[in-house]
């Protein structure tokens, strides 16, 4: 079984105490082969390539592993496994990895600042590497989407998501970066949203997420090779999950 792990320790000048070092481990899922190259897609010109930053949002530590709020972390782990990108180091307050998808350079990041301060990490990476906003993809959970549904958007607000709120703040208020939303559904009954997002997935839900992550992986491959519009058409199609079930 594949597991992504990286040790992390933060000393915050605004905190009363230091955050303890922790080993971050998340469940992995077995990726399928890409369909983008089989579709006859052309590869981009290597001389004109710019690196993509793929950010998954979540909370560090075993307590949060496998919870709804951490699906962004899980999809980044899934991408890392599929593309052979190691994520065992800490940089910019993130579990961080560098590699490529095909011949496109990418950086993968899972901020270890806890969800509400995710922008501290993302802002630092973007500033250091001078990454264009349209080359940033943020992956996160969304209660406003049906469970296991994906939605790829070119820009937008935070929608009440504190991780996205923090990122927008640290990108100087800019909302003009792509985001991949993963539906986690609505809380049952009168359950508070804050409690719902920290609930683990059921076994049946985890099976459903396998298909969602396959689609998310393929969406990222299409995005970096063929552009946003092509990827959005793929992701936002109602037939996406059924396609992978037939393979």
User: From residue 244, how far is each of 3, 61, 91, 151, 169 by CA, in Å?
Assistant: 24, 31, 35, 17, 37
Q: Evaluate whether 105 touches 49 at the Cβ level (below 8 Å).
A: yes
**CA–CA separation, 73 and 172 (whole Å):** 24
Q: Is 243 a catalytic residue?
A: no
DSSP H or E stretch at residue 80: helix 71-83
**CA–CA separation, 208 and 1 (whole Å):** 19
DSSP letters spanning 91-105: ETTEEEEEEEETTEE
Smallest CA-to-CA distance from 64 within 10, 15, 24 is with 24
Encoded tokens for 95: 């579990």
Q: Half-sphere exposure (CA, 13 Å, Cβ side) for 163?
A: 27
**CA–CA separation, 51 and 104 (whole Å):** 7
Encoded tokens for 50: 């710019």
161: which residues sit within 8 A by CB, 6+ positions away?
140, 141, 142
* DSSP one-letter code for 180: E
Identified catalytic residue from 69, 161, 170, 225: 69
Catalytic annotation, residues: 69
């Amino acid at each position: 079984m594949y597991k992504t792990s990286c040790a992390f320790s933060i000393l915050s000048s605004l905190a009363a105490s230091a955050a303890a070092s922790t080993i971050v481990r998340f469940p992995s899922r077995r990726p399928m082969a890409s369909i983008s190259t089989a579709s006859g897609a052309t590869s981009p010109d290597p001389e004109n390539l710019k690196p993509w930053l793929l950010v998954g949002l979540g909370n560090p530590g075993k307590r949060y592993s496998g919870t709804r709020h951490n699906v962004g972390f899980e999809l980044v782990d899934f991408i890392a496994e599929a593309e052979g990108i190691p994520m065992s180091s800490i940089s910019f307050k993130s579990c961080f990895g560098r590699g490529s998808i095909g011949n496109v350079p990418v950086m993968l990041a899972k901020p270890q600042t806890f969800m509400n301060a995710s922008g501290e990490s993302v802002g630092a990476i973007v500033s250091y590497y001078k990454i264009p906003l349209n080359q940033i993809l943020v992956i996160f959970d969304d209660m406003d989407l049906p469970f296991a549904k994906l939605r790829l958007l070119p820009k937008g607000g935070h929608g009440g998501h504190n991780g996205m709120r923090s990122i927008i703040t640290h990108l100087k208020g800019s909302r003009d970066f792509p985001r991949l939303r993963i539906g986690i559904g609505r809380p049952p009954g009168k359950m508070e949203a804050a409690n719902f997002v920290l609930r683990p997935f059921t076994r049946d839900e985890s099976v459903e997420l396998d298909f969602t992550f396959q689609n998310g992986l393929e969406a990222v491959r299409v995005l970096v090779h063929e552009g946003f519009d092509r990827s959005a058409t793929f992701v936002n199609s109602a037939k996406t999950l059924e396609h992978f079930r037939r393979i």
